[in-house]
Amino acid sequence: MDIRVRHASHAYGGLAVLSDIDLVAPAGKILCLVGPSGCGKSTLLRLMGGLERPTSGAIELVGAPPSGCLNELTFVFQHFALLPWASVEGNVRFVLDHHRLSEAERAEIVADVLARTGLADFAEAWPRQLSGGMRQRVAIARALAVRPAVLLMDEPLSALDSQTREILMEDLVGLWTRAPFTAVYVTHNLAEAVRLGHAVAVMSRRPGRIREIVAIDTPLSERRPDDPELERVQARLWSLLRDEAIDADRELVDG
């Protein structure tokens, strides 16, 4: 299922945040979204996920969701958003409980996603007992449990240290390779974008618009951290972003 943004603009009060965004996240691919801080990436993701309505323009879903899909547009949040009073398993079950599923089906889904994210041994643990990386794994497991049509990931790895981030990137690549999913992936980190994105959309500073979409053809599973081709793409992304980022940095918020 594709998700399509058509001429969407958004403003908070008088503050124009997004301007005339036209974008398609194609089915079965990961679209990365990069841009200077405050350019409206998170806002765009919330629009795509139906948590907010665009001031003008439209967001559309194209095609049928995958079979067994329980929640078409599913978020993975930067700060995990785990229920601290529920165990790992409880957190996954929380998003299944209101669906008409038999207990057996539920148990099967939970076991499956915990196994896929390497959490099978931690089902009973409290979130506070887990490291950051493990917590984000729980959030990813929870997102996978509802068999999403599109995963909307807002800087899912930016709260983690760089080693953990590396490991989770490999995990995500593994997950996608075994069962390709559609995702929109917001990040500040260009290395992440070139490792995970089939395409990288570069946004201008606020009010955000799409400056360029860079496609990366190397299959995900073959990308390596020191791949010269990827380094070239990353350098190009940086050159696109650099001036915008410097200007964005000097801007007074609420000026």
Partner 1 sequence: MVDLSPARQPREADARPVPFRGGGFAPGRNRWAGLVVFVALIAFFEVGTRTGVISSLTMPPPSAVAQTLWRLVETGLLWQNLGPSLYRLAMGSLVGCGAGILVGFAIGLFTLARAGLVPLVSALFPIPKIALLPLFVIWFGIGEGSKVALIAFGTFTPTVVATFGAVDGVDRGLIRMAQSFGVPWLRIVTRVVLPDALAGILSGLRVSLAIGIVLLVAAEMLGARYGIGAYILEAGALYDLERLFAGVVILSVLGLLVSAGIGALERRLLRWRG
Residue closer to ligand ATP, measured from CB, 43 or 91 = 43
Residue closer to Mg ion, measured from CB, 55 or 158 = 158
What torsion, rounded to 10 degrees, do the Cα atoms 163, 164, 168, 169 define?
-30
Asked if residue 116 lies in contact with residue 144, where contact means CB atoms within 8 angstroms, the answer is yes
Task: State the binding partner of 83 from partner 1, ligand ATP, Mg ion, none, CB within 5 to 8 A by kind.
Answer: partner 1
Q: Give the residue from 175, 220, 178 showing the smallest Cα distance to 199.
A: 220
Residue closer to partner 1, measured from CB, 98 or 178 = 98
Residue closer to partner 1, measured from CB, 75 or 176 = 75
Site residue total, ligand ATP (CB under 6 A): 12
The interface with partner 1 within residues 74-93 (CB under 8 A) comprises: 74-75, 77, 79, 81, 83-86
Element (H, E) at 183: strand 182-186
Q: Closest distance between partner 1 and the C-beta of residue 147, in Å?
A: 12
Exactly one of 8, 25, 30, 39 binds ligand ATP (CB under 6 A); which one?
Answer: 39
- Judged by CB under 5 A, does residue 55 bind Mg ion? no
- How far is 197 from 217, CA to CA, in rounded Å? 9
Residue closer to partner 1, measured from CB, 67 or 163 = 67
Residue closer to Mg ion, measured from CB, 9 or 78 = 78
Say if residue 2 is exposed, middle or buried (CB neighbours under 10 Å; 0-12, 13-18, 19+).
Answer: middle
The interface with partner 1 within residues 90-119 (CB under 8 A) comprises: 94-95, 97-98
Q: Closest distance between Mg ion and the C-beta of residue 136, in Å?
A: 16
- How far is 178 from 184, CA to CA, in rounded Å? 18
Q: Closest distance between ligand ATP and the C-beta of residue 116, in Å?
A: 28
Asked if residue 38 lies in contact with residue 247, where contact means CB atoms within 8 angstroms, the answer is no
Q: Closest distance between Mg ion and the C-beta of residue 47, in Å?
A: 13
C-alpha distance across the termini of the chain, in Å: 41
- How far is 230 from 202, CA to CA, in rounded Å? 16
Exactly one of 126, 180, 188, 211 binds partner 1 (CB under 8 A); which one?
Answer: 126
Using N-to-C axis directions, what is the helix angle for 132-145 and 162-178, rounded to 10°? 20
- How far is 194 from 231, CA to CA, in rounded Å? 8
The interface with ligand ATP within residues 198-227 (CB under 6 A) comprises: 206
- Judged by CB under 5 A, does residue 158 bind Mg ion? no
- Give the binding site for partner 1 (CB under 8 A): 49-51, 70-71, 73-75, 77, 79, 81, 83-86, 94-95, 97-98, 126, 128-129, 142, 146
